């Protein structure tokens, strides 16, 4: 709740004051009082209020609702909400301008001041709830996440809404990845490389699966992500004049012999079945990573990392 207040009788500020924000706790409510300077050099004073609540029982309806959101993809899609866990993950969600619905914290592990400092830069004003050790033990997957969970509104990732500002994009495409851990690792690699976009073709899991959030350490919030069918994505690449280079065992060149300097997408499939024939038919060039052992494939996230950073090397990153 944001209200314009008349605070002249309570606080005296001068135009050269260095204090911009005052935090106050009163009767379980947290207030932030701050000033905004107008074009006429006058200051407007605003008050931003958080109400502190507490849940101590693991049988609380909200606790049960959060448990369902963690376990059920259908419920996440129906409600448009998901659950994240951890300080770093919440930081990255805030950086990604996600709307926070509810934030829960364990006071024994995280102070109110630290939490409010984190929420200062959020675009939303969530309900803040202190929880008991019993509730935290029920909801937290990891015991080293600083006593922090949040219910967050999901974003849409429609391919038609994908905006790639670069005129020379480098994109990662993963077709039908099944394991949340692999998706998370791909997103970490994409973030590390600063890719322009990650596109998931024919997804088998929703992006806000808790295992994807955990394994990506929050990089699901920092990447420019879209989802679509293989046919839709191929059509998108053709429309944007982006070449696709498909990781495959047949009709392939060594990845070091391919020029990745132009607008391109590196396409990877599953370890079990590889890429579909539709992708192989649309490929500008199939690419392969030479191997010296007995196996003919690596973990998809490892392969993607090798290919991505070769493309980054060619583009002057290394």
Residue 302 pLDDT grade (very low, low, confident, very high; cuts 50, 70, 90): very high
Rounded (10°) angle between helices 300-314 and 180-193: 10
Query: Which SS3 state, helix, strand or coil, does residue 182 take?
Result: helix
- Higher per-residue pLDDT: 14 or 242: 242
Averaged pLDDT for residues 228-245 = 98
**Per-residue pLDDT tens for 67-109?**
999 999 999 999 999 999 999 999 999 999 999 999 999 999 9
**Per-residue pLDDT tens for 9-61?**
334 333 344 434 445 554 445 555 544 444 544 444 455 555 568 999 999 99
Write down the pLDDT at residue 109.
93
Range(s) of the chain covered by CATH 3.30.1330.30:
2-153
Residue 295 pLDDT grade (very low, low, confident, very high; cuts 50, 70, 90): confident
E strands, the chain, are: 2-4, 21-26, 29-37, 43-55, 81-85, 100-105, 127-131, 148-153, 170-175, 197-201, 225-228, 243-247, 252-254, 264-268, 285-288
Write down the pLDDT at residue 110.
94
- Distances in Å between the Cα of 61 and the Cα atoms of 103, 107, 177, 242 are 15, 21, 34, 49
Percent of the chain scored above 70 by pLDDT? 83
308's tokens: 């991505």
How many Å apart are CA 74 and CA 83, to the nearest integer?
14
Write down the pLDDT at residue 120.
84
How many Å apart are CA 57 and CA 235, to the nearest integer?
52
Which class does domain 159-314 fall in? alpha beta
Write down the pLDDT at residue 48.
54
- Residues near 114 by Cβ (< 8 Å), separated by ≥ 6? none
CATH number of the domain located at residue range(s) 2-153 in this protein: 3.30.1330.30
Range(s) of the chain covered by CATH 3.40.1280.10:
159-314
**Per-residue pLDDT tens for 181-216?**
999 999 999 999 999 999 999 999 999 999 999 999
Percent of the chain scored above 90 by pLDDT? 74
Averaged pLDDT for residues 291-298 = 88
Write down the pLDDT at residue 122.
86
Most confident of 114-123, 133-142, 276-285: 276-285
């Amino acid at each position: 709740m944001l209200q314009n207040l008349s605070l002249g009788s309570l606080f005296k500020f001068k135009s050269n004051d260095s204090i911009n924000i005052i935090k106050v706790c009163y009767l379980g409510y947290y207030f932030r009082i701050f000033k905004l300077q107008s074009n006429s050099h006058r200051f407007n004073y605003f008050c931003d209020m958080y109400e502190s609540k507490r849940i101590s029982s693991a049988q609380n309806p909200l606790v049960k609702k959060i448990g369902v959101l963690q376990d059920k993809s259908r419920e996440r899609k129906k409600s448009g909400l998901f659950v994240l866990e951890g300080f770093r993950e919440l930081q990255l969600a805030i950086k990604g301008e996600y709307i926070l619905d509810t934030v829960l914290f364990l006071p024994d592990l995280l102070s109110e001041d630290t939490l409010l400092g984190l929420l200062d830069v959020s675009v939303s004003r969530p309900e803040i709830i202190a929880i008991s050790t019993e509730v935290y033990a029920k909801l937290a997957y990891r015991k080293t996440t600083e006593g922090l969970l949040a219910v967050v509104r999901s974003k849409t990732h429609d391919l038609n809404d994908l905006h790639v500002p670069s005129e020379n994009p480098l994109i990662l495409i993963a077709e039908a990845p099944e394991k949340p851990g692999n998706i998370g690792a791909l997103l970490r690699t994409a973030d590390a490389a600063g890719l322009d976009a990650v596109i998931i073709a024919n997804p088998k899991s929703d992006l806000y699966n808790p295992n994807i959030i955990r394994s990506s350490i929050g990089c699901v919030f920092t990447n420019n992500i879209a989802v679509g069918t293989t046919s839709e994505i191929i059509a998108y690449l053709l429309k944007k004049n982006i070449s696709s280079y498909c990781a495959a065992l047949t009709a392939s060149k060594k990845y070091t012999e391919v020029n990745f300097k132009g607008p391109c997408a590196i396409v990877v499939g599953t370890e079990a079945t590889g890429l579909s024939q539709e992708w192989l038919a649309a490929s500008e060039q199939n690419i392969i990573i030479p191997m010296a052992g007995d196996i003919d494939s690596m973990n998809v996230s490892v392969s993607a990392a090798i290919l991505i950073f070769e493309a980054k090397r060619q583009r002057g990153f290394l």
